[in-house]
Amino acid sequence: MAFSSSIATLYKVGMAAVLALAVTSCSGDDNSGSTYRTSPEFRSDAPPEAGLGITLFGDSNSQGTEGAVAVNAFLWRASLDTISFMPLASADPFGGVIITDWYAPPETPGERFKVNMYILGRSLRADGLKVSVFRQQDDGAGRWTDAPVGADVPGEFEEAVLTRARQLRMQAVAEEG
């Protein structure tokens, strides 16, 4: 009897927790105008740095953040420029994720590469970008097998993106002033 009593108590506590969660999720806090954000840096209410948001829809002079990209615009553009020779599988400007499809260089048709780029914030900083590179080789029977990538290859991609992002920023500053 004590066992069923504790189950009933546990059930009541669980239902109360679910009810409390349901009530609090229906609070008046409306975040429908906020931008999707991917890192704790974005959870602050600090205004974005000037020149780092891209307005996709509406008035670019408006004070709202609707339609603004949640990642650094210079890193985003530089990332796309750097991998422009590869076919894109997916690009999410709100989440800061760029995924290429497999690319086989003409010089080495027996291997192919894929790159994933993650833009981690609004700041133009070296730690604002993460690149993963994948490599496969043709085993001769038409099957692709995973192969190691040199440890320096992701860093070289990151450096190329950061260099291009700095160029884009300097160009934007020169055009403003």
CATH of the domain at 167: 3.30.530
The answer as to whether 57 is a domain residue is no
127 in a structural domain: yes
Contact 72, 122 (CB under 8 A): yes
**Domain assignment present for 40:** no
Task: Tell me if the pTM is above 0.85.
Answer: no
Q: Examine the pLDDT at 66 and tell me if it is beyond 60.
A: no
Report yes or no: 83 and 61 within 8 Å, Cβ to Cβ. no
Evaluate if residue 54 carries a pLDDT over 50.
Answer: no
Domain count, the chain: 2
Runs of H (alpha helix) within 36-139? 73-82
| The pLDDT of residue 61 is above 60 | no
Q: How far apart are CA 89 and CA 68, in angstroms?
A: 22
Residue 104 lies in a domain: yes
Which tokens sit at 123?
Answer: 């700041």
In a domain, 36, yes or no: no
Phi, psi of 125 (to 5 degrees): -135, 160
Residue at 125 is within a domain: yes
Domain, as residue range, for 125: 73-176
Residue 7: pLDDT over 60: no
Q: Which residue has the higher pLDDT, 140 or 136?
A: 136
Tens-digit pLDDT profile for residues 73-105: 999 999 999 999 999 999 999 999 999 999 999
Residues in the chain: 177
**Residue 49 reports pLDDT greater than 60:** no
Per-residue pLDDT band at 156 (split at 50, 70, 90): very high
pLDDT attached to residue 177: 74
Higher-scoring residue by pLDDT: 72, 55? 72
* Rounded average pLDDT over 122-129: 92
20 with 83, same domain: the answer is no
60 assigned to some structural domain:
no
pLDDT at residue 30, as a whole number: 44
Say whether both 77 and 147 belong to one domain. yes
What per-residue confidence (pLDDT) applies to 25? 43
Q: How far apart are CA 39 and CA 122, in angstroms?
A: 10
- The 3-state DSSP class for residue 59 equals coil
Lowest average pLDDT, out of 49-58, 62-71, 148-157, goes to: 49-58
In this predicted structure, what is the pLDDT of residue 167?
96
- Do 161 and 80 fall within a single domain? yes
Q: Measured between alpha carbons, how far is 100 from 102 in angstroms, rounded to an integer?
A: 7
pLDDT at position 176 is 86
* Burial category of 121 from C-beta neighbours within 10 Å (exposed 0-12, middle 13-18, buried 19 and up): buried
> Looking at 12-21, 39-48, 120-129, which range is the least confident one?
39-48
